[in-house]
Chains A and B, each alone.
Chain A
Amino acid sequence: MISPTFFTLAVIGYVCATGLALAYLVQRQDLIYRLGSLATLAAWACHSLALAIRGIEQGRPPFASLTEAVSVAVWVVVLLEMWAERHYNVRVLGAFVLPVAVMLSMSAVGRSLEGPAIDRALSGAWLWVHIGLALIGIAAFVLNFAGAVMYLLQERALKAKRPGTFYYRLPSLETLDRLTYRTLALGFPFLTTGLLLGALWARRVWGSVFAFDPLAMFSFVAWIIYAATLAGRAAGGWHGRRAAYFAIIGFAALVLTLGAGFLLPGRHGS
């Protein structure tokens, strides 16, 4: 099996990229930024290769166990990060997104990639779609979280009238608010469809939508928070600080979801 080597390389690469991104936040040097971008891209390429090999070896999409799924989520997060960094021209985005990506990767370290994989009897095309959509949604919410944190930091700097590192490095409030809104609008439909498919699947197979599955419970809580935020933004004129707080609460719920998946017994395995 070659894929574990590439997975390890990818994690090492992400750690390096995170270090460089944080260094760039403190010391605005072009060279550091370029090295950081290179490290991110290289690590992501290794990661892609690892996932591809894994998929071929197993003869199924590489997100059958929760550990694998987290890995795929990280892969999407980094892809989105690279895109948003260029699109919004926020060069310090990596410093806020990559640490989360590394922490997610670390949560999977030490666990066998195998994990309790999906029961063969349960598998089917819709199940893969359920997982895939949910993962894309989660990845978008990682960026949503990073955007919210950056917004709050910049807002605080402007209100406090004390220009510091964040004031100089972060873009305008409007840009950050737009980034947070867009990632929410992107992630929500994916999460919704993902959850819906999961619920339909569960009813068909187990006859009940939630039936003692902690991960499903928590993800439903997260979904409600995001739904409320999106509704507030679209109809209630929510924005800025309030929207940012909700983005952070929503993300906390997602992290709990993941923790529940790893630690509590349930159908998503552990």
Chain B
Amino acid sequence: MGLFVAGMNHRTASVGVREQLALEEDKLREILREVLASGGMSEAVIVSTCNRVELYGVAEVPGEARATVFRHLCHHRGLDPASVDPCLYTHLDREAVGHAFRVAASLDSMMIGEPQILGQVKDAFALAQSCETVGPTLHTLFTQAFAVAKKVRTETDVGRYAVSVSFAAVELAKKIFDGLASRTVLLVGAGKMGELAARHLVEQGAFPIYVANRTWSRAQEMARALSGTAVPFDELTTVLASADIVITSTGAREPVIQRDMVAGVLHGRRGRPLFFIDIAVPRNVEESVETLEDVYCYDIDDLKQVVDANLRERRREAQRAEGLVEREVGKFLARLADADVIPTIVSLRERLESIRLGEVKKTMARLGDASPETKDAIDALSSAIVNKILHAPITKLRESSRAGHGRSWTELVHELFGLGRQS
């Protein structure tokens, strides 16, 4: 029986192919049951997201199982299996374990480190469990994959830095201000992007929110949506004096925020930083504003640059995560291999121990009036002999199973020591 994963992802298949194979829950249940009933496989989990369709399974002949399952899938969708075949990859044993870990840890995602995939894999696993297509092997594999994903998340920064412009703005604000709770936000203009950035700030506790717009009714509308206050456009300077974060997204051709305006309010702020997030094109904040002290001004290109740097940082962290996953795969396989030989080791120990106890009892009965010291010595002697004898076979069993041929050795040990049939 071999563990394998077969499927396609965003790298091997175009979205056209992927969307045709994406399956809803009912269909998945049906197919999972069919797959197991049609034979060849003893366990199966299907992960189906918009970026991947993957079958995790245990089968005698993985190649056949893969062909059967994907023929089923194509059949359901009225596709020609030959058109899907070139997009498919198959990983066996060690590679399959590594792949499962990497997928769950979001290292195989289109956007490395995105957090949704772990939940999607968990859902797929739960669905397979409810269809009773999960056996001991996949159970251990997936439980471990979830643990590895968590470890990657806590020990590396792979999912840490913002990869969208609006979140990058929030992150920058956190590098300027000591927390965003009770920071005053001024939103100038009613652009969608501006609203989104303002929303993120509100989620972080920013309060109060002021909205200024040339059209008064628009300002009121947006203020209602953000639970903020609308302010008349010509009172911008007044609000600027108390604002901490200013988001601009108007369609104005000329800068709305001029240097003189900002310089004028700086003195009264006593050094409180002022952060401009200028999402508008053409820009709403005059370029020379950023030369003022305690003023930080990021336009859309600057924010994109931050996002790019964040992506580089994520990729660097992903490299570290790959090493971590590789080590976890090694540990996992060793544990799996040990699990193969442990029953044999246990029965071998029990067998020798029962022989030892029987012989010690007989000897004790014959000795009769021997001193407790003598009895203890006999007991210790027999234990020592048994342990010495066991040492070599147990070591050999563990080594051979880690090297991948534990089965023949366990059979041999069963024969030699008369341990009875193994399950």
A residues with CB within 8 A of B? 28-30, 154, 158-159, 161-164, 167-168, 170-175, 178, 237-241
Contacts and interface: CB of A to CB of B under 8 A. Distances in A.
A176 B305 CA distance: 25
B317 to A, nearest CB: 8
Contacts of B302: 161
Nearest to A241: B293
A237 B270 contact: yes
B77 interface: no
A159 B290 CA distance: 8
Chain A CB within 10 Å, residue with most, of B157, B174, B176: B176
Contacts of B294: 239-240
Contacts of A159: 290, 296
B178 A162 contact: no
A168 B293 contact: no
Given A168-B313, A172-B175, 8 more contacts: A28-B157, A30-B155, A158-B296, A163-B310, A170-B175, A171-B175, A172-B178, A239-B271
A237 B271 contact: yes
Contacts of B313: 163, 168
B271 A240 contact: yes
Contacts, number: 57
B409 interface: no
Interface residues on B, range: 20 to 34
A168 B176 contact: no
B176 A173 contact: yes
B146 interface: no
Nearest to B320: A29
Contacts of A238: 271
B273 interface: yes
A178 B272 CA distance: 12
A65 B384 CA distance: 64
A168 B310 CA distance: 9
Interface string B279-306: 0000000000010011010100010011
Contact of A162 (B161, B174, B305): B305
A24 to B, nearest CB: 13
A48 to B, nearest CB: 33
A162 B293 contact: no
A25 to B, nearest CB: 14
B273 A174 contact: yes
A247 B351 CA distance: 76
Interface in B178-199: 178-179
16 contacts: A28-B157, A29-B155, A161-B298, A162-B309, A163-B306, A163-B313, A164-B309, A167-B309, A168-B313, A170-B175, A172-B175, A239-B270, A239-B271, A239-B294, A240-B271, A240-B294
B177 A163 contact: no
Nearest to B305: A161
A175 B309 CA distance: 23
B357 to A, nearest CB: 47
A171 to B, nearest CB: 8
Nearest to A88: B178
B83 to A, nearest CB: 44
B176 to A, nearest CB: 5
B141 interface: no
Contacts of B177: 172-174
A32 to B, nearest CB: 12
